[in-house]
Amino acid sequence: MRNIAKWHCQLMEYDIEYVPRTSIKGQAIADHLAEFPIDNDTPINTNFPDEGILQVDEEKKEPTWKMYFDGAVNSVGSGVGAVLISPDGRHYPVAAKVGFSYTNNVAKYEACILGLQAAIDFKVKELELFGDSMLMIFQTLGQWKTKDAKLVPYHEYLEELAKSFEKISFTYTPRAKNQFADALATLASMASISEGNIIEPLEIEVAKGPAHCNAIEASEAKPWYEDIRNFLQTGQYPPFADRCD
């Protein structure tokens, strides 16, 4: 039963509807044909409209803004984080250290609201939200009821913020695909930030090589193993070597 419950949770992110298979007896088909007879002189139209069309391209969707959010609650502290991704791929991270105690579910709502407020400041009209909290996502979609008294005001405020967008969607994503937002929330929870101090987001670059490569001057000196390598390749001793060496 543990595996079934696990599979059930994993399948809930998809719009799957179970339809029982029904059997159609031959008599039912015969009754249908008898009820709607076709005259023998009715010509059969074998011409297919638009038969010259070989392919129909699907309408391309314009890229929209995306947002990933997450919250972190640990022994060190609490924090929330969200990252906005523009249609051209630019990342705008936002994070906040929370100075009051709350549950993990409340942290998810705090993170989502933080990201929505940032998106409103950016004047975003269409937004796709991704979070790894199945409870919060399905409550927002209306599939699950919000019964916790602590989450009800968060849920109502989130719905009010959602009205600021022309188009908005909520999608559940696994934690493995939500690492950036999770890292922001964890960093905010563990960092020591004084009151009134604002820390600007850090620029993260991809280092393709060690930093010391560009700092060391090139040298023409041979490596210490040059004589050994030459001996293995040619079988000759160095010119300065004697019999004792």
Pair 146, 152: CB distance under 8 Å: yes
The β-bridge partners of 129 are 67, 170
Q: What is the mean pLDDT of residues 147-165?
A: 90
Q: Tell me, what's the pLDDT at 220?
A: 74
Q: Tell me, what's the pLDDT at 24?
A: 61
Q: Tell me, what's the pLDDT at 167?
A: 92
**What is the rounded distance in angstroms from the CA atom of residue 234 to the CA atom of residue 29?**
90
Q: What is the pLDDT of residues 200-222, one digit of tens each?
A: 766 777 777 776 666 666 667 78
- SS3 of residue 98 by DSSP: strand
Say whether pLDDT at 232 is over 90.
yes
**E strands, 175-225, in order:** none
Say whether pLDDT at 50 is over 70.
no
- SS3 of residue 237 by DSSP: coil
Say whether pLDDT at 230 is over 80.
yes
Share of residues in the chain with pLDDT > 70 (%):
80
Q: Tell me, what's the pLDDT at 59?
A: 66
**What is the rounded distance in angstroms from the CA atom of residue 175 to the CA atom of residue 179?**
7
Say whether pLDDT at 39 is over 90.
no
**What is the rounded distance in angstroms from the CA atom of residue 36 to the CA atom of residue 163?**
50
Please provide the CATH number assigned to the domain covering 65-190: 3.30.420.10
Closest of 167, 150, 108 to residue 133, by C-alpha: 108
Q: Tell me, what's the pLDDT at 111?
A: 92
Closest of 142, 214, 131, 204 to residue 173, by C-alpha: 131
Q: What is the mean pLDDT of residues 76-97?
A: 89
Q: What is the mean pLDDT of residues 164-178?
A: 90
Q: Tell me, what's the pLDDT at 67?
A: 94
Q: Tell me, what's the pLDDT at 146?
A: 84
pTM beyond 0.75: no
**What is the rounded distance in angstroms from the CA atom of residue 79 to the CA atom of residue 98?**
5
- What residue segments make up the domains of the chain, in order of their start? 65-190
Burial string for 106-118 (b: 16+ CB within 10 Å, else e) reads bbbbbbbbbbbeb
Which tokens go with 175?
């934690």
Q: Tell me, what's the pLDDT at 233?
A: 92
| DSSP string over 44-77 | P--PPTTTT----PPPPPPP-EEEEEEEEE-SS-
- SS3 of residue 216 by DSSP: coil
Q: Kindly report the CA angle at 180 between 178 and 186, in degrees rounded to 5?
A: 100
Q: Tell me, what's the pLDDT at 34?
A: 77
Q: Tell me, what's the pLDDT at 189?
A: 84
Q: Tell me, what's the pLDDT at 201?
A: 65
Closest of 61, 84, 74 to residue 188, by C-alpha: 74
Q: What is the pLDDT of residues 103-153, one digit of tens each?
A: 888 889 999 999 999 999 999 999 999 998 888 888 888 888 888 888 899
Say whether pLDDT at 36 is over 70.
yes
